[in-house]
Amino acid sequence: MSTEVMSTALRPRVSPRVPRMRLRLEHVVMGGAIVSLIVLVVLPLAFLLVGSFKGADGVTLDAYSEVLTGRLYVNALKNSLILGAWSGLFSLLIGLPLAWAVARTDVPAKPLFQITATLSYLSPPFLTAIALTYLFSPNAGLSNVLMRDVLGMPWLTFNIFTMSGLVLVTVMHTFPFVYLLASSALQSVDASYEEAAQILGASKLRTAFSITAPLVAPAVLSGTLLAFVNAIALFGSQAIIGLPGRIVTLPTRIYALFDYPPEYALASALSLVFIVITVAALYLQNAFLKRRSYVTLGGKGSRPQMMRLGAFRWILFGFVVAVFFVSIVLPYGTLIAVSFSKSWGLEFWKNLTFANYKFILFEYNVTQRAIMNSLFLAFVAATFAVLLGAVIGWIDLRTKIPGRRLLDYASLIPLGLPGIVMAVALIQFWLAMPVALYGTLMILLLAYVGRYIPLGVRAANASLRQVDHSLEESAQILGARWTTTMREITLPLIRPGLFAGWLLVFVPVIQELSASILLFSSQSITLAVAVYNLYETGYIEPVAALAMINMLIIGAAIWLAYRLGGRSIASRTEAAPVSN
């Protein structure tokens, strides 16, 4: 045996080194995002479900039996469905003609149509409701007093505290859902189909019903269903208009269950019934929207010819002016007039004053605290929602982690959760925890981030899909770490989309009332809750001043975002109702 062979035989065998898994920063970030989503969405919903089965003697179905058979709850469910149905119908009757006029006709002043839809969507419905009570409350409303006592025409009075009044206020906020989806669909249809039908002898009317209508019907129906879902979920307008008229709906009934002693089991069961309705509607909306796959969007499609309406185009123009007046000018003109009046009445213009703003800004100690709380919560919630959405979107699109699709679906669950339901779920969850969060800014922050996380995820997901994955792979091949790649390549490229998502969270948080009304305390009061509480105490003129301050803050935020974000903000703001 040679020396080399012997040395080889006698050399101790060294087992191959097994590579050790190193915990890297990206693993920590991804793990934190997953845990955050579980805490924000999954666990509260689980506790909401468990809480609905709790009774004095243990597990029971008594809460569901009461909710599904009790007169108070059945009546609330019926009123919500009626409100949603009428709101969806009138949203269709308003939104579709406006969309058709913009996409397919030579109607003048088309930017006014877009401005009307955008401002109507961004306007807080509870402020519109407050403004219309100043005009149409049965006894003291300015318009009713004028018609009844001055002009002697009582048949022209209108009682806002009715289902008709509630539908009117709601439709002002929901018709943009139909308008935006329908206008997008009408602009996407390949006009060659319509031209071919007309060449074969079909009239314009028959072409519209046989060709165009079937192509855009899924988008129109999905917009109507979105209007239905949002209509039944609005708490503020239903409390301000509905309760004085004894019209109880699901949100206001859930709110009443938290009067002392709170009925947690009934609130949970009623919330789950609410979720079933909204999820069913959103499922139908998604199913209708998927059917748009046969709308041709190819580059060779021809643009539709604008239909010449002649004198009829001025009728359409008058229609949009009327919608703009009723939904924007009338409510906010009223709020401005009331905010500067010493005593609201027929001769309000004789006693104009700045005293209401002085009282709100310098003497009413709640205002400054509410403004600071709202700005802090909106800034932090928008930032966390967008960052968390960016991580979840990155996990979904850039990794092969098992269950990443499930993570993406879980982030979309809040789309079917009305704000007041989210509040009930958080109350059930955090009351069971050893940490006392109820009534603090933290629980409000958790509610806002959890409720609006879908907007952050969708904004990040859409932006990441536009970034070629090879750019990140090239950086990693050259030795860049994950943090360096994210900081130097990914985040700069998706920054416009993230900023748009940030704005889409910031604005609704500023005006959020549905969840805040159950979670606030005197120290964590928000601006929207302060407006609602001041209205409930009967301060007519000061509440108008506070409402205008609320709108000024929202307007300033939108203006600043447009200045900084440019067109990327505009394009995503137009699509916001679709995501919401």
**Beta strands 58-59 and 54-55, pairing class:** antiparallel
Q: Which of 410, 378, 387 is nearest to 494 (CA)?
A: 387
Q: What is the CA radius of gyration of the chain?
A: 28
Angle CA 340–511–440, to nearest 5: 115
pLDDT of residue 215: 75
Task: Indicate the SS3 state at residue 55.
Answer: strand
Task: List residues bridging with 352 in a β-sheet.
Answer: 341
When the pLDDT of each residue in the chain is averaged and rounded to a whole number, the result is 82
Digit-coded pLDDT (tens) for 410-428 = 777 887 788 888 889 898 8
Is the pLDDT score of 466 beyond 80? Answer: no
pLDDT of residue 19: 46
> Do residues 120 and 328 make contact, with C-beta atoms less than 8 angstroms apart?
yes
Q: State the Cα–Cα distance between residues 1 and 16, nearest whole angstrom.
A: 27
Dihedral of CA atoms 261, 263, 50, 441 in degrees, nearest 10, equals -60
Q: State the Cα–Cα distance between residues 305 and 286, nearest whole angstrom.
A: 30
The residue-averaged pLDDT of 512-521 equals 90
Q: 330 Cβ partners below 8 Å, 6+ apart?
A: 131, 132, 135
Residue bearing tokens 């906010």:
332
> Do residues 489 and 469 make contact, with C-beta atoms less than 8 angstroms apart?
no
With pLDDT > 70 as the criterion, what percentage of the chain qualifies?
86
Chain mean position to CA 174? 11
Higher pLDDT, 286 or 143: 143
Digit-coded pLDDT (tens) for 340-352 = 998 887 888 888 8
DSSP for 275-302 reads HHHHHHHHHHHHHHHHGGGGS---TTPP
Write the burial class of residue 439 (CB in 10 Å: 0-12 exposed, 13-18 middle, 19+ buried).
middle
Residue bearing tokens 């007039």:
337
Q: State the Cα–Cα distance between residues 370 and 553, nearest whole angstrom.
A: 12
pLDDT of residue 304: 63
Amino acid residing at 363: E
Largest CA distance in the chain: 127
Task: Indicate the SS3 state at residue 153.
Answer: coil
Q: State the Cα–Cα distance between residues 326 and 328, nearest whole angstrom.
A: 6
**Of 115-124, 134-143, 176-185, 285-294, which range is least confident?**
285-294
pLDDT of residue 498: 79
Digit-coded pLDDT (tens) for 357-379 = 999 988 888 888 999 999 999 99
Digit-coded pLDDT (tens) for 42-93 = 889 899 899 888 877 778 888 888 889 989 999 999 999 999 999 999 999 9
pLDDT of residue 375: 92
- Look up the pTM and report it: 0.83
Q: Which of 518, 566, 573, 542 is nearest to 239 (CA)?
A: 518
Alpha carbon distance, N-terminus to C-terminus of the chain: 81
Q: Which of 123, 99, 268 is nearest to 185 (CA)?
A: 99
Higher pLDDT, 545 or 393: 545
392-404 burial: b if 16+ Cβ within 10 Å, else e: bbbbbeeeeeeeb
- The first and second tokens of residue 579, run together, are 């995501």
Q: Which of 373, 369, 376, 366 is nearest to 534 (CA)?
A: 366
Digit-coded pLDDT (tens) for 422-455 = 889 898 898 888 888 888 999 999 999 988 988 8
Peptide bond into 261 cis (omega under 30): yes
- The first and second tokens of residue 242, run together, are 């509905």
pLDDT of residue 74: 93
Amino acid residing at 31: G
Q: Which of 494, 412, 395 is nearest to 455 (CA)?
A: 412
Instruction: Give the dihedral sign, CA 498/500/503/508.
Output: negative
Is the pLDDT score of 486 beyond 80? Answer: no
Higher pLDDT, 94 or 398: 94
